Chain A
Amino acid sequence: MTWWCAARDVAWSWTWQAYPGVWLFVLAVAGGFTLLVRRLAPVHAPPGGRPVPPAQVAWFTLGLVLLWLSTDWPVGALGAGYLLSVHTAQWILYTLVVPPFLLLGVPAWLPLAAPAQSKAGRLLRILARPFVALLVTDAILLASHLPPVVDGFRRTQWGSFTVDLAWLIGGLVMWWPILAPNPSISRVSYPWKIGYLFLCTLVPIVPAAFLTYADYPVYALYELAPRVYNISAISDQQAAGLLMKAVADPIIWLAMAVVFFRWQRVEEAEDRAEKEARLRGGPTDPVAAP
């Protein structure tokens, strides 16, 4: 039974294919999140109001829809076995697009439900350290783009599932220091966040350069795949390399801009508060006060 998108030996066709494993996976993520919230909210959610505000439900739902679209037919099938450029688009979606939406949907109280001393609590805090997150994310990126991994894993449904899952985990880890919903989990300052995001754009240069400038196709799987619309293997590969930088980087730049403006807003608010306090006559900073 075909349950997950993997490489196939047949010519590409726009005839719809069912991948029930993808539906189950998306439902499992949705169900797991709902179950976690229902079980933990009575004890950990702040009293009064909804445990997950509607805006956050909307973010999480959007993340799930994007997850489903980037995994199911046709994107999943094209990416798994026909076009490297679509495979790269999937990497962008899994790593840079879906995780921020999912994390924006996590209520601030939820990560605190895992005590700091527990395994889960420690893991959440360790992964919120930018250096650790960067190491995990880049390791997944590099390992999942090695030719033996792509050529071997994408041929089987379990292998393809492993790659997709690794990308999603890598994406969640990458965004965790930036978007962890509670400041007690991630204490990364705004300038460090911007610096961290910049560092996130560096390692993808390696696979992107290989894909863009290689004389011959890097992956046997996509080179020997039945052609789609006569797109040559090398053009497809160059498109993949360009996507990895020309599309992925602007997404991170956008995030850097958001962090910067949020930082500016916070500083302005602090300045205003300070001015107001001065106007009221009291010293705001005990050290600076005469």
Chain B
Amino acid sequence: MHTSRLSRWLVLPLVIVLAACEGRRAPSAGRPEAGGATAAREFPNPRPKPDFVLTDTDGQAFAFREGTEGRMTLLFFGYTNCPDICPVHMANIAAALHKLPDEIVRQVAVVFVTVDPERDTPARLREWLDHFDRGFIGLTGTQAEVDSAQVAMRLPPAYREAAEGEAYFVGHSAHVIAFTKDGLARFALPFGTRQSEWAQEIPRLVAYPGQP
């Protein structure tokens, strides 16, 4: 009698917890979770840094390979009207960099290439990136130039999603590509990488292949 009562009281919270956690697998609850799933993923075959040339936020030509040579480079393709992924990625990278020592930060280049050049003018891009860090490099170009930069990184070109008048979204890759200082793209960091994880990963990537 007592055992059955006790087990009832033990089972009830268990059922509630399981019911509450069940949705974690549901596709609608698509926000990434913390933990191992967000760690840097290594490319089986490291890719060389592409040599595309785009326009920076000062309106000058920026050769990606040359402009980031010798620095660990984080490359991301996004757009400033992005409601979720882009601002969170940029904010998390910036927050981690702001807590790391200067000698590490100096060895890092963060490059944001817009996939929405129609709306992201150099000035708009600069203003948006400055919300996160004034040192972030913003690049734009013609749609064809931006598309070919993505193809050079073996990414599917971004595409415009269903529009409501002027307001439209752009579907794009959610990974940040990390180039180690030897000029090879070795890792991808998915959306969901947390500030604390960036703070661990950045020194490791800077020191690659050694230990920070």
A interface with B by C-beta (< 8 Å): 6-7, 9-11, 147, 151-153, 155-159, 162, 215-217, 220-221, 223-227, 230, 232-234
Contact between chains at A155 and B91 (CB < 8 Å): no
Contact between chains at A156 and B22 (CB < 8 Å): yes
Residues of A contacting B31 in the complex (Cβ-Cβ under 8 angstroms): 7, 9, 155, 221, 224-225
Contact between chains at B19 and A158 (CB < 8 Å): yes
Residues of A contacting B131 in the complex (Cβ-Cβ under 8 angstroms): 230
Contact between chains at A226 and B20 (CB < 8 Å): no
Q: Is B87 on the interface with A (CB-CB < 8 A)?
A: yes
Supposing A224-B192, A226-B83 touch, asked if A232 and B23 sit within 8 A by C-beta, the answer is: no
Residues of B contacting A233 in the complex (Cβ-Cβ under 8 angstroms): 91-92, 95, 195
Shortest CB distance B177–A (Å): 19
Shortest CB distance A163–B (Å): 8
Nearest CB in chain B to that of A226: its residue: B84
A137 to B198, CA, bound (A): 36
Contact of B88 among A151, A152, A156, A224 (CB under 8 A): A224
Contact of A227 among B19, B91, B99, B195 (CB under 8 A): B91
Q: Is B34 on the interface with A (CB-CB < 8 A)?
A: yes
Shortest CB distance A190–B (Å): 35
Supposing A152-B20, A217-B194, A223-B195 touch, asked if A9 and B84 sit within 8 A by C-beta, the answer is: yes
Shortest CB distance B165–A (Å): 16
* B80-119 Cβ-contact flags toward A at 8 Å (1 or 0): 0001100110011001000100000000000000000000
Contact between chains at A151 and B33 (CB < 8 Å): yes
> How many B residues touch the partner, as a band?
20 to 34
Nearest CB in chain A to that of B99: its residue: A215
Contact between chains at A153 and B194 (CB < 8 Å): no
User: Within B155-212, which residues are at the interface with A (CB < 8 Å)?
Assistant: 191-192, 194-196, 199
Residues of B contacting A225 in the complex (Cβ-Cβ under 8 angstroms): 31, 88
Contact between chains at B20 and A159 (CB < 8 Å): yes
Q: Is B8 on the interface with A (CB-CB < 8 A)?
A: no
Residues of B contacting A157 in the complex (Cβ-Cβ under 8 angstroms): 23
Supposing A216-B196, A226-B84 touch, asked if A7 and B29 sit within 8 A by C-beta, the answer is: yes
Supposing A162-B16, A227-B88 touch, asked if A9 and B30 sit within 8 A by C-beta, the answer is: yes
Q: Is B144 on the interface with A (CB-CB < 8 A)?
A: no
Residues of A contacting B30 in the complex (Cβ-Cβ under 8 angstroms): 9
Contact between chains at A220 and B194 (CB < 8 Å): yes
Residues of A contacting B28 in the complex (Cβ-Cβ under 8 angstroms): 9
A156 to B29, CA, bound (A): 7
Residues of B contacting A7 in the complex (Cβ-Cβ under 8 angstroms): 29, 31
Shortest CB distance B186–A (Å): 24
Nearest CB in chain A to that of B30: its residue: A9
A219 to B192, CA, bound (A): 12
Residues of A contacting B194 in the complex (Cβ-Cβ under 8 angstroms): 216-217, 220, 223-224
Residues of B contacting A11 in the complex (Cβ-Cβ under 8 angstroms): 83-84
Residues of B contacting A215 in the complex (Cβ-Cβ under 8 angstroms): 99, 196
Supposing A156-B26, A224-B32 touch, asked if A232 and B91 sit within 8 A by C-beta, the answer is: yes
Q: Is B21 on the interface with A (CB-CB < 8 A)?
A: yes
Cβ-closest 7 pairs across A and B: A156-B23, A11-B83, A159-B20, A220-B34, A226-B84, A216-B196, A155-B29
Contact between chains at A10 and B83 (CB < 8 Å): yes
Nearest CB in chain B to that of A160: its residue: B20
Given contacts A156-B22, A232-B95, 15 further A-B contacts (CB under 8 A): A10-B83, A11-B83, A152-B20, A152-B21, A152-B24, A156-B24, A158-B23, A215-B99, A216-B99, A217-B194, A220-B34, A223-B88, A224-B32, A224-B191, A234-B195
Contact of A216 among B33, B191, B192, B199 (CB under 8 A): B199
Residues of A contacting B24 in the complex (Cβ-Cβ under 8 angstroms): 152, 155-156
Nearest CB in chain A to that of B92: its residue: A223
Residues of B contacting A216 in the complex (Cβ-Cβ under 8 angstroms): 95, 99, 194-196, 199
Can you sample 28 A-B contacts with CB below 8 Å? A9-B28, A10-B83, A10-B84, A11-B83, A11-B84, A153-B20, A155-B24, A155-B29, A156-B23, A158-B23, A159-B20, A216-B195, A216-B196, A220-B33, A220-B34, A221-B31, A223-B92, A224-B32, A224-B191, A225-B31, A225-B88, A227-B88, A227-B91, A230-B131, A232-B91, A232-B95, A234-B95, A234-B195
